[in-house]
Amino acid sequence: MSSEQELIRLAQVGDSDAFCVLAEAYERRIYSLAFHFCRDRQDAEDLSQEVWLKAYSAVANFRFESNFYTWLRKIAINCFLNHRRAVASKYPHEQVSEDSANERPAHSWEASFHNQLVIDRVMQALSDVTAQQRLIFLLKHQEGLTYEEISRSLGCSVGTVKKSVARTIAKLRERLGANEEPEKYISCAAAGILS
């Protein structure tokens, strides 16, 4: 029995410390997904912690039929969709705050001006598309799900998934200037990121 399975079994009988160890292994991925989905640090923390609380209350029903992270990601997607519905009912036209979208975090993870420039532009591009298109792009590009898996998770057609990905890539190209001078700009930006 692997240590992850052992931790899951301990969590299933109510051991919160074991669940915290599990959470430590995946919390950055879940937080990252939440942050790119809602584009706000505080919302991302609330949303990602809500995912963990729901996972803890449902871990007793985990039957080891899939990978733990796959199961966790399903809970995260449901939380994100619920969050999107709540935001949509609160703000019918989804007023995106430019301040929050362009908010530059006060952490030290932006190592250079180039890095931050590219990250800001990617975030700006992601804020230009709808929440669903953004989530589809993140699930495809960051999580590596197939079109079919995404369509099943979100309850939409494969065509919608493809269009969403194409639309988001078009926005990214527009924001990164890839349409005008692709080789020059992207290679410069990528060098900045990688440095």
Partner 1 sequence: MHNCKRTRDALIDLAMGELNEAQARAIRAELHNCDGCRAEQLAIAGTLGVSRQALSAEHGSDEFWRGYHNRLQNRLKAMPVVESSPRANFWDGLRAFATSSVRIPLPAALASVALVCVLSFVALSRGQVNQIPETPIAKVEVHTVHVPVVQEKVVQQVIYRDRKRPKQLSFDYANLNTATATAKPVPDSAKLNLVGFKPADQVKMTIIKGNDQDEK
Query: Which residues contact partner 1 (rule: CB under 8 A)?
Result: 12-14, 16, 19-20, 23-24, 27-28, 31-32, 35-36, 45, 49, 52-53, 56-57, 59-61, 105, 107-109, 115, 118-119, 122-123, 125, 138, 140-142, 146-147, 155, 162, 165-166, 169, 172-173, 176, 178-179, 182-183, 186-187, 189-190, 193-194
Helix residue ranges, H only, the chain: 3-12, 16-38, 41-58, 68-90, 98-101, 113-128, 131-141, 147-154, 158-176, 182-194
Q: Which is nearer to partner 1, 43 or 45 (CB)?
A: 45
The 3-state DSSP class for residue 102 equals: coil
Q: What φ, ψ does residue 40 adopt, rounded to 5°? A: -145, 130
**Are 26 and 11 spatial neighbours (Cβ–Cβ below 8 Å)?**
no
Give the whole-angstrom CA distance, residue 33 versus residue 99. Answer: 20
| Minimum CB–partner distance for residue 93 and partner 1 (Å) | 26
Q: Which is nearer to partner 1, 91 or 180 (CB)?
A: 180
Q: Which is nearer to partner 1, 4 or 45 (CB)?
A: 45
